[in-house]
Copies of this chain bind each other. A is one copy, B any other.
Amino acid sequence: MTITVVGSIAYDAVETPFGVRERMLGGAATHFALAASVLHDVRLVGPVGDDFDDADLAVLQTRGSNIDDVERVAGGKTFFWKGKYGWDLNTRETLDTQLNVFEHFAPKLSQASRDCDVLFLANIQPGLQLQVREQCPSARFVALDSMNLWIDIARDELVEIIGRVDCLMLNDEELRQLTAKPNLISAAHEILEWGPTVVVAKQGEYGSALITKDDFFALPAYPLHEVVDPTGAGDTFAGGFVGFIAKHIDQLHEPEVLRNAMAYGTALASFNVEQFGTEGLQDVSPAAVRQRVDDLWRFARFERMEVALLD
């Protein structure tokens, strides 16, 4: 039993108020796998170029993740993204995007990757996500990420693939844009009519919210005194979330599975943003992850006190 993730493996150039990195390992599949591998076996699917370092291949294999379907495209260059964050890290500007080997990417999954029980379709062109979905008919839980670009230029395909997954994970403003509904709860409930049983609204520094037909749950982001680089936080969150679900695939009817999945996603994302690129997740220890989940358990709950109210 495995999780398959299909998405970008990239080199990122990032500038934040805390420093500059000219070229570091990044990409959605990378961040996802680093987090999910804390919980479960992962198989990565995605293209890289001739320029991809062996040391970075080794990072992709952290905690035993399988890279048989990481295709090294001869003569190609690895996907490149360059961005700059504002003062409080809540805004970012894309300075450069070079699709490179991603431009002609046609996902070819090995039988082992097709046989996954759990599938994460990271943010790529919705048509490609549909192709991957069709190659993995036995997946019991499929989660999907996307972005505003695809809502703008490929909305029909995006709605089609959303109809064929169990869980949509999107930024809250993208959920609004996708449904043209200004209210997040209404937007999420509309999407629950399209097929998914779970919608996760990613809310950046404010945490995330989980919306199902009958339930609502929200967790703050883990409170940190210093956030250094938010790049990949959403994919790291997705890795923890989906990783926990993969581990409890037979208990998905229990609401606590999804809630704990949110906590693991949140805890793992906090390690990601504390350092640049993949540094925060490469050596994260089980004890440290458990400590942050315990902290979140405490940060989020209250015990009701009786109080008289006036009419």
Contacts and interface: CB of A to CB of B under 8 A. Distances in A.
A194 interface: no
Interface in A296-311: 297, 299-305, 307-311
Interface residues of A, number: 62
Interface string A280-293: 00000110011001
A176 B223 contact: no
A300 B20 CA distance: 37
Interface stretch (A72-80, A140-148, A231-239, A254-262): A254-262
A209 interface: yes
A302 B224 contact: no
A27 to B, nearest CB: 21
B216 A257 contact: no
Contact of A176 (B17, B88, B203, B218): B88
A271 to B, nearest CB: 13
Interface in A20-53: 37-39
A38 B88 CA distance: 37
B310 A63 contact: yes
A257 B303 CA distance: 9
Interface string A220-256: 1001111100000000000000001001100000001
Contacts of A289: 309
Interface stretch (A104-112, A122-130, A160-168, A179-187): A179-187
A205 B257 CA distance: 26
A286 B309 CA distance: 6
A68 interface: no
Contact of A206 (B186, B203, B257): B203
B299 A311 contact: no
Contacts of A63: 310-311
A216 B299 contact: yes
A83 interface: no
Contacts of A293: 304
Contacts of A189: 225
A184 B205 contact: yes
Interface in A157-200: 173, 176, 182-186, 189
Contacts of A183: 88, 224-227
A89 interface: yes
Given A176-B88, A206-B206, A302-B259, A182 B17 contact: yes
Contacts of A211: 223
Contacts of A285: 311
19 contacts: A17-B182, A39-B307, A63-B310, A63-B311, A87-B182, A88-B182, A184-B205, A203-B206, A206-B206, A206-B207, A207-B220, A218-B223, A218-B299, A247-B307, A256-B305, A259-B302, A260-B305, A263-B302, A300-B300
